[in-house]
Structure 1
Amino acid sequence: MKKYHHRLAFSSALIALAFMSVPSAQADDGKNPTRIVLGYAPGGAMDAFTRIVADGLKKHIDGPILVENKPGASARLALNHVKRQPPDGKTILISSAPLFTVFPYTYKNVGYDADKDVVPVAHLADIPLVLSVGTQQPYKTTKDYLEWVRKTPKDSGIGLVTLGGPTQFGIMSLNKAAGIDLIPTAYKGAAPMLTDEIGGVLPAGIDAVASKLELYKAGRIRFLGVSGRKRSTVAPEVPTLAESGAPGFEMASSWYAAFVPAGTPSDVVIKLEKALISVVNSKDVQEKLTKLGVEGTGLSKEELRQQILQQRKVWKPIIDESGFVAE
């Protein structure tokens, strides 16, 4: 009889220990911090964007909110970190598009499952690209630039910050559609690329509007055209590349969106979705994002999921045809 009681007591202790070790989203008392993780270093456009959103979330979420920068492996390090966190709504990934729309096709071993390791929460912002040139260049429109490229093909280098993303594949699409041969020249960051652009060393460069907006407003560079299907609200006077006769960049704009670890309860996801959309759509945040060169969107998790699928359909055949493999 004593042996039976010992077994019963031991089993009860194990059960109690198991329940103590399981994290619970419902049991949160608001004291645990919410951590917002991004895969880029402090000081960039995504870091500034994330901190604006984090500040706005304080009105919707109890407890401290921390921004954690985990740069490395083209932001894949951050995603791999988030996917291993408890699915309790306390860890949020802010990601750009390539991790979900391009990398699954360019890396032989990307290191995560874009559809199973994390789940979409909300589409937060569009990040339009812009083709820009130094003000001393003879071409003042995209049409002029393409004509110049056809006449001087040996000087057809075009700057971009990273290979293997929508920018590079947009250039490939443009080459095919326009019958030209723009040669991508990769830089380690926007700053050195813009230095060469302003100095006239680089004929043209394409990168996020956010990285170039101040120079454009100061009259140091000229904007020729933006990516996407419609003009950017950040610089509405600049035509799209498509309407300027340079197709291929309709789906090349990047975006920022929020994700949480797979297994996060649906009610927690919905709460975060509503909070994030409310923050991005607020007037003060919209004004801050416009100054940053970012277009706040505030779209649902389902709209985000559909956009990912649409962009994959565009990029996969282009990537397959190019034979590009990321290292």
Structure 2
Amino acid sequence: MTVFGKPLRARFAGAALLAIASAVPVLALAQSYPSRPIKMVVPFAAGGSVDVLGRVIADKVSLALGQPVVPDNRIGANGTIAHQMVASAPPDGYTIGMSGTSPLVLAPHQYKSLPYDSRRDFTYLACAGTTPFVLDVNPALPVKNVRELVAYAKANPGKLNFGSAGLGNSAHLSAELFKQVTGIDMVHVPYKGNALAMADLVSGQIQVLFDPVQTSLPQIRAGKVRPLAVTSKTRFAELPDLPTVAESGYPNYEFVVWYAFIAPAATPAPVVARLNSEINKVLRDPEVKARFAALGANLTESTPGECANFVRSEYAQWGKLFTDLGIRPE
């Protein structure tokens, strides 16, 4: 039997030789990897939670791999600059990146044009954990818990202002989800950064802010803001008396931001498996887990497949919320 004039057996033999030939470089790469330093692109500024987690992982993975894993902070454009670098890098395991909720599943619904597609352009090495927000209010607001806040908002529709670091960012969406679950009306005031929103909460220019635990803690301890609840399903160890929103009467509410490690699409499976294994070892380290628990981060392990499936699920969920809220890509 022939196909396009060539015997079928010969075509099968040729295909087998081609497969073997193409597999050789991958096997050689896996056996020698890594033979030089690895760049870890970090999309946010030094000192933030993503940067700190990335540096801890980089230091410990460097020891295991015998090669430096070097953080490279590339800030700007809500993380899109860093993600474009990772997406366009050679898929050889020598460029990886830190990522998370905003650039992977929020930005695609915020912007009409991105220099990457989070569903197509990345290999997911591991999803690393989650961090909740704290629902903070200005102390002058006459509410002491979530139920009182909801009652006050319903009695004063449209008179409460809540801040965020910008339209469609995590803090904005956590508040919008809260509005949707509780049926209240508050006015969104977007800022050019979370620090500015917190400053106006402290001064009373806004009354409500959903804020990462890391930046809320100093203001809470100084008595400058009043925490009402944490947005995760479980309480935060550093504020053990603070209930969750779910415990406060709204069991369907949960909002956390999450972290992920990425590499360019088509990164060889043996390299992905090696990186996943070493990242997970760090994430299960009791000392590392305790350190980040104090910062509000719940570190968890995952396989590359589990992480990819999680990101796809989050992408669909937040796309629906953007549609429900009428937020159109800009």
TM-score, reference length from structure 2: 0.84
Unaligned runs of 5+ in 1: 1-18
Q: Which residue of 2 aligns with 1:217?
A: 221
Local SS of the residue matching 2:29: coil
Cα deviation code 1:189-248 (max 9, x no counterpart):
222222222223321111211221232234332221222333334544322223323567
Measured in 2, the distance between the counterparts of 1:271 and 1:215 equals 41
Local SS of the residue matching 1:128: strand
**Root mean square deviation of aligned Cα:** 2.4
Q: Which moved more, 1:286-295 or 1:111-120?
A: 286-295
Cα deviation code 1:14-46 (max 9, x no counterpart):
xxxxx9xx9973475755211111111223222
Q: State whether residues 30 and 270 of structure 2, in contact with CA within 8 Å, keep that contact through their aligned partners in structure 1.
A: no
Q: Which residue of 2 aligns with 1:55?
A: 59
Match of 1:271 among 271, 274, 280: 274
Q: Which aligned pairs between 1:152-171 and structure 2 lie closer than 5 A?
A: 152-171=156-175
Q: Which aligned pairs between 1:56-135 and structure 2 lie closer than 5 A?
A: 56-135=60-139
1:304 aligns with 2:307: yes
Q: State whether residues 109 and 329 of structure 2, in contact with CA within 8 Å, keep that contact through their aligned partners in structure 1.
A: no
Measured in 2, the distance between the counterparts of 1:273 and 1:127 equals 21
Q: Which aligned pairs between 1:1-327 and structure 2 lie closer than 5 A?
A: 25-26=29-30, 28=32, 30-246=34-250, 249-250=253-254, 252-327=255-330
Using the TM superposition, give the Cα deviation of residue 117 of structure 1 relative to its aligned residue in structure 2, in angstroms.
0.9
Cα deviation code 1:67-103 (max 9, x no counterpart):
1011112101111101111212121111011222222
Using the TM superposition, give the Cα deviation of residue 262 of structure 1 relative to its aligned residue in structure 2, in angstroms.
0.9
Local SS of the residue matching 2:144: coil
C-alpha distance 178-29 of structure 1, shift in aligned 2 (>3 A): closer
Using the TM superposition, give the Cα deviation of residue 126 of structure 1 relative to its aligned residue in structure 2, in angstroms.
0.4
Cα deviation code 1:149-190 (max 9, x no counterpart):
122234311111222134333433333332221111112222
Cα deviation code 1:100-137 (max 9, x no counterpart):
22222332222212122111111112021111123343
Q: State whether residues 174 and 248 of structure 1, in contact with CA within 8 Å, keep that contact through their aligned partners in structure 2.
A: no
Local SS of the residue matching 2:127: strand
Measured in 2, the distance between the counterparts of 1:229 and 1:192 equals 28
Counterpart residue type for residue 151 of structure 1: A
Local SS of the residue matching 1:35: strand
Q: Which residue of 2 aligns with 1:10?
A: none
Q: State whether residues 41 and 71 of structure 1, in contact with CA within 8 Å, keep that contact through their aligned partners in structure 2.
A: yes
| Identity in percent | 28
Q: State whether residues 105 and 319 of structure 1, in contact with CA within 8 Å, keep that contact through their aligned partners in structure 2.
A: yes
Measured in 2, the distance between the counterparts of 1:243 and 1:29 equals 48
Measured in 2, the distance between the counterparts of 1:59 and 1:284 equals 16
Counterpart residue type for residue 296 of structure 1: L
Counterpart residue type for residue 78 of structure 1: A
Using the TM superposition, give the Cα deviation of residue 275 of structure 1 relative to its aligned residue in structure 2, in angstroms.
0.5
Measured in 2, the distance between the counterparts of 1:162 and 1:125 equals 24
Unaligned runs of 5+ in 2: 1-21
C-alpha distance 239-306 of structure 1, shift in aligned 2 (>3 A): farther
Q: State whether residues 225 and 239 of structure 1, in contact with CA within 8 Å, keep that contact through their aligned partners in structure 2.
A: yes
Counterpart residue type for residue 266 of structure 2: G
Measured in 2, the distance between the counterparts of 1:240 and 1:179 equals 18
C-alpha distance 156-110 of structure 1, shift in aligned 2 (>3 A): same
Measured in 1, the distance between the counterparts of 2:155 and 2:50 equals 38
Measured in 1, the distance between the counterparts of 2:176 and 2:45 equals 29
TM-score, reference length from structure 1: 0.85
Local SS of the residue matching 2:179: helix
Cα deviation code 1:244-266 (max 9, x no counterpart):
2356742x311111011111111
- Structure 1 segments, 4+ long, off by >6 Å, are none
Measured in 2, the distance between the counterparts of 1:186 and 1:125 equals 27
Q: State whether residues 161 and 193 of structure 1, in contact with CA within 8 Å, keep that contact through their aligned partners in structure 2.
A: yes
